Chain A
Amino acid sequence: MKQATHKTLYNTHGWIGIVSGILLFVVIFSGIPALFEDELEYWQSPSLTALPKSQQFDLQSVVDAAHEENFIYSDFFISPANDVRSHHILWNFDREKEAFNTLFLAAHDNRVVEADQSDSSHILAHLHTDLHLPSPYGRYLIGLAGMAMLLAIIAGVVIHIKWRKELITLRPKRSWRLLLTDHHKILGLWTLPFTLVLAFTGTILGLLGLISPILALAAFDGDVEKATRAILGPKAEIIGEPLNRYPLNDIHNTFKNDMPGVTVNMISFSGYGDRGGYIKFSGNHDEKLNNLQATTYKMATGEPVHTANFIGNGPFQRIFAAVVPLHYVMYGGGWLKLFYALSALAVCGLIISGNMLWLERRGHSQEHWLGKLTLGVCGGLVLATLSLLSSSTWLRHVGADQAFWEETIFWAVWVITTLVALKSQASFSLAHGIIRLAMIISISTLIGDGIMNQRWIWTAEGWVLFVQFGLLIFTGILFVFDYLLPASKTTSEKNKPTAQPITS
């Protein structure tokens, strides 16, 4: 490779990393709880975890039970009980109030159950998907960050020509800069397949809304609605003829026969109560990677009107159908999710070491504002996430305001940590302080779960134990990180700045 090409790629890798690094840390770290959204949503509501284990689901009985509770809407959705939770979730989006109407039914007897008020799983998942910014701008920003990650990975792969040696080189007794360099290369190389998949799928998910008009322009004369209907299926054509009863179970059985091996995770009703109403079953194939399957039927007759069966279709439809399962681990089980989570943590380390290395190469200390911002935002997010989970247990009896207080604590902890880091003159001490505080908060979550919800780790089981175990593993990782992180920077004569310094 020519020296000029290598230099351009090296600089591009560094600049893309420094511009998008902190944002990428936020997206990737928040992706860990987002990956476990279902499990956390289940864990955060002890009244739902107390239900007897059941995945029993009779569509007609569920709809009847919902109607008895005055849950009657033209458009609504049902998510049946699954291997994580033993309750069905029904919801409708009220466009006027811009709010969801939600109903929880116990799977074993279709009785209404009251969920607890915690919203921690949604707060964290929304940070990952939209950064809590107005839709769709947050998602576009995340898509662009994903694209930046993809470009940084490509340059990173090309410039590391001695990758076999770098894969196993770690010199912990040498200088701080060499420690950063070795960690950055090791983490980057070992997580390469994971980061590539994550960046590519994340970019598609983030920017799909942005490129949809371009694709619709070419294939559907610019009609995005028409393109959406062609891919996802049509909406109901309301004809104003009331109909009180539909052959719902017959249609459900038809879907199960037509799509064997598919686990239904959502049933969408459109135009319920009208002869022109549609019902759509969506699910994931149990044994395929490109596993998104959906069929729309006429609710009155059970006649199929649209099928999105990507398995038997062209290669690009199959690639697209694999994007969501690959990104959110909708293949494999809880252990694969745990592997994803650990890999995501490694990528977080990759980003932080990259930022620090960029400053080191320019002769700046960790007290440079960019170093402080990295520590504040990244460390602050870790503290805020654990504070949110901890408050989810301790604030259980607050009542309707629980979600509000949880969100307030989350943002307050994040902002305060960032401000403290920006003011601090001792970054290493502060980093140790943040890690130790995070460990304490993580353990306090387990204690809070025991005291407030009577779910001690030695009595818990199933997914509650899985979440608690996950928190213990994370605490252990923080402990090791705290032990290995030096108390101050070690320098060597050889480590002089190798790049132009930036003005602070």
Chain B
Amino acid sequence: MSVLHQTSAQFVNIINHTASRIVAATLGGFFTTISITVGITLWWPFGETVEQVFAGGIFFFVFWACLFYWILLSANGSRAWIKVLSILLPMLIVDAIGLNI
């Protein structure tokens, strides 16, 4: 029991570390941006397919920059990862529906 408690405490320490927050902002932000880009390209309601592609392309860089700072400015690592997952998971569902997976 104490080993389990120790392991979970170590895990929380790692997740809350500044390095974890930076990884969440860079990598987490990047993958979240990809999921949002796929979603925008799939569901963009205006114009033909080529317009959808360009909308996704432009928003990619805008969202990447915004997400990076939104996640980085979290109080600690666990909050940063919660922000990542709060966008990433719903977007993955939206993407899966759009791609008929």
A positions within 8 Å CB-CB of B: 5, 8-9, 12, 147, 150-151, 154-155, 200, 203-204, 207-208, 211, 214-220, 227, 230-231, 313-314, 316-317, 319-320
Q: How far is the CA of A314 from the CA of B49 in the complex (A)?
A: 11
A-B contacts besides A214-B60, A215-B37, A215-B56, 10 pairs, CB < 8 Å: A12-B72, A147-B64, A150-B61, A154-B65, A204-B61, A214-B37, A220-B49, A316-B55, A316-B57, A317-B54
Offer 10 A-B interface pairs, CB within 8 angstroms, sorted by A.
Answer: A151-B65, A151-B68, A204-B57, A211-B57, A211-B60, A215-B37, A217-B38, A219-B56, A230-B50, A317-B50
User: A150 to chain B: which residues have CB within 8 Å?
Assistant: 61, 65
Q: Which of B34, B55, B57, B68 has the most CB of A within 10 A?
A: B57
| B56 with A218: CB separation less than 8 A | yes
Q: How far is the CA of A8 from the CA of B37 in the complex (A)?
A: 27
- Per-residue CB proximity of B33-75 to A under 8 Å, as 1/0? 0100111011000110111111111101100110011001100
Q: How far is the CB of A217 from chain B (nearest CB, A)?
A: 6
Interface class of chain B by DSSP: helix
Question: Looking at the complex, which one of A12, A215, A313 makes contact with B57 (CB distance below 8 Å)?
Answer: A215
| B54 with A320: CB separation less than 8 A | yes
Q: Which of B37, B54, B60, B95 has the most CB of A within 10 A?
A: B54
Q: Would you call B90 an interface residue if the criterion is a C-beta within 8 Å of the partner chain's C-beta atoms?
A: no
Given contacts A8-B73, A150-B65, A151-B68, contact A218 B99 (CB under 8 A): yes
User: B58 to chain A: which residues have CB within 8 Å?
Assistant: 204, 316, 319-320
| A154 with B69: CB separation less than 8 A | yes
Residue of B nearest to A154 (CB): B65
Residue of B nearest to A318 (CB): B54
Q: How far is the CA of A231 from the CA of B53 in the complex (A)?
A: 9
Q: Chain B interface residue count: which class?
A: 20 to 34
| A314 with B47: CB separation less than 8 A | yes
Q: How far is the CA of A443 from the CA of B91 in the complex (A)?
A: 59
User: A211 to chain B: which residues have CB within 8 Å?
Assistant: 37, 57, 60
Q: How far is the CA of A215 from the CA of B60 in the complex (A)?
A: 10
Q: How far is the CA of A154 from the CA of B42 in the complex (A)?
A: 29
| B54 with A316: CB separation less than 8 A | yes
- Per-residue CB proximity of B9-24 to A under 8 Å, as 1/0? 0000000000000000
User: A207 to chain B: which residues have CB within 8 Å?
Assistant: 61
User: B47 to chain A: which residues have CB within 8 Å?
Assistant: 313-314, 316-317
| A227 with B53: CB separation less than 8 A | yes
User: A320 to chain B: which residues have CB within 8 Å?
Assistant: 54, 57-58
Q: Which of A207, A216, A316, A320 has the most CB of B within 10 A?
A: A316
Given contacts A217-B38, A218-B98, contact A313 B73 (CB under 8 A): no
